[in-house]
Amino acid sequence: MDLEIAAAWAEVFGLVTILGAAIYSWYQIRELRRSRDSTTAMSLAANFQSEDFVVGLTSIMNIKFDPKKFEYGDDEKNYMNLREHFGDDWPKVMTLLTTWESIGVLIHRGDMDFHVFYDLFSGVLLKSYYAFEFYLDPIREDPTNKDLEWMIWLVDRVIEYEEAGSGTKAAWYEFKDWAPPLRK
């Protein structure tokens, strides 16, 4: 074998090695994303086990707050009225609202899968938004107001998703024919 043939084989071997590394890297990146999505889903689901989150959620969903006590622009008065209304649960309500805020940012940045969030939380996000909309809707009128901006953004994305027909009905109905795969 002369030097030219050896060089040609070396180039072919180098090309095969590079292609193999690229394919392997693509596979590894895919697996890392799946692992990240799985970890994110477990982390999201853990919120339902957090006392602060659950108490905040149930407090908001059972709000029965008189919106006449709320006056947009009078932040101090509104804060005191909300704090008085929720009492000891006020920090837990804020935990819930800031959790929605954080999730909104993570989804926007692509650090969390929207569909996982949607399946786990879309219903309770919308319920908490509608219960608290007397506070959140006036924020929309002022584009410089950044209070709970990512929660509002996330609510809008969920509503758009459902209005586009991409949402699902309740899981017990939508997936009633689902069965676990058989073990191998």
Written as tens digits, the pLDDT of the chain (184 aa) is 688 888 888 888 888 888 888 888 887 877 777 777 667 666 766 777 788 888 888 888 887 877 777 777 777 888 888 888 888 999 999 988 999 998 999 899 888 889 888 988 899 999 999 888 888 888 888 888 888 899 999 999 999 999 998 888 888 888 899 988 898 8
Whether 90 maps to a domain, the answer reads yes
Q: Could you give the C-alpha distances from 141 to 137, 145, 151, 169, 170, in angstroms and in order?
A: 7, 8, 15, 31, 32
Q: Please report whether residue 166 resides in a domain.
A: yes
87/80 Cα distance (integer angstroms): 10
Decide if 104 is inside a domain: yes
Tell me, yes or no, whether 5 lies in a domain.
no
**Number of domain units in the chain:** 1
Question: Residue 150 is part of which domain span?
Answer: 37-171
Query: Which residue type is seen at 179?
Result: A
Per-residue model confidence (pLDDT) at position 150: 94
Any domain includes 103: yes
Q: Is residue 31 part of a domain?
A: no
pLDDT recorded at residue 172: 87
pLDDT for the residue 1: 65
Is 19 within a domain?
A: no
> In sequence order, what are the residues at sequence separation of 6 or more whose Cβ sits closer than 8 angstroms to the Cβ of residue 139?
145, 147, 148, 149, 152
- pLDDT, residue 27, reads 78
In a domain? residue 151:
yes
pLDDT of residue 160: 94
- Which pLDDT score, from 0 to 100, does residue 104 have? 93
State the pTM of this model: 0.72
> In the prediction, which pLDDT does 151 show?
95
